[in-house]
Amino acid sequence: MPLTPNFDLPYPASTDHVRLWEHFQSLATAIDTAFARPVFRARRVAAQSINNTTDTAISWDTEDVDTHAGHDLVTNPTRYTFQVAGYSMLGGGIGWANGTTGRRKSEWWKNGSALDGSNVLMAPNSSGTVAVPAKPIIVQHSIGDYVELRGWQESGGSLGVSSAGTSSPSIDIFYIGPA
């Protein structure tokens, strides 16, 4: 069957079979798939230490929503693996534990490589705390691609991410539509 250009919804061609119920079934399945957009949100609520000058993926230990099972708390807990191809908006941030030395960074990685233009680098304030937002970015992906939010710091030693409520690291992924 041919497909519509925007949402890939099937429709019968003049040469397709004449069993109308099969057309309705194909269309219903396609509509259900097209409009069930993946949404993911997770947080880090337990301590995680980040080594000095080492890009380290945040390991998500609390899922708030995962509509398409793209994340696993045990297997690859740092990754969100796309279950639907298309474009998604990435957002989130990393709250850091107290420390007045050095800078802190958040950065998006896709399939093991940093995404160009995605890092945010900040210095802590006088009390030593800093929450580094992850730059909102649109990413094109295929089924099986994965993204991670990574932290980096240069305090001179290991430094933990904050696990305190509104400062805890978080990741948000919203599916925008097909490529």
Antiparallel, parallel or unpaired: β 170-177 and 120-122 = unpaired
Q: Give the pLDDT score at 14.
A: 67
Query: Following DSSP, what letter does each residue of 113-132 receive, concatenated?
Result: EEPTT--EEE---TTS-EEE
Q: Give the pLDDT score at 29.
A: 73
CB-CB contact of 124 with 62 (8 Å): no
pLDDT tens, residue order, the chain (179 aa): 677 776 666 777 766 666 776 777 777 777 776 677 899 999 999 999 999 999 999 999 999 999 999 999 999 999 999 999 999 999 999 999 888 899 999 999 999 999 999 999 999 887 777 899 999 999 999 999 999 999 999 999 999 998 878 889 999 999 998 88
Q: What distances in angstroms separate CA 79 from CA 6, 7, 106, 135, 147, one per listed residue?
A: 29, 27, 15, 17, 6
Domain 39-177 has CATH 3.40.50.1370: no
**Radius of gyration (C-alpha) of the chain in whole angstroms:** 20
Q: Residue 35 class from Cβ within 10 Å (0-12 exposed, 13-18 middle, 19+ buried)?
A: exposed
Q: Give the pLDDT score at 33.
A: 67
Q: Phi then psi for 166, rounded to 5 degrees?
A: -70, -15
Q: Residue 88 class from Cβ within 10 Å (0-12 exposed, 13-18 middle, 19+ buried)?
A: buried
Domain residue extents for the chain: 1-35, 39-177
What whole-number distance in Å separates Cα of residue 85 and Cα of residue 6? 14
Instruction: Let me know how long the chain is.
Output: 179
Q: Give the pLDDT score at 80.
A: 98
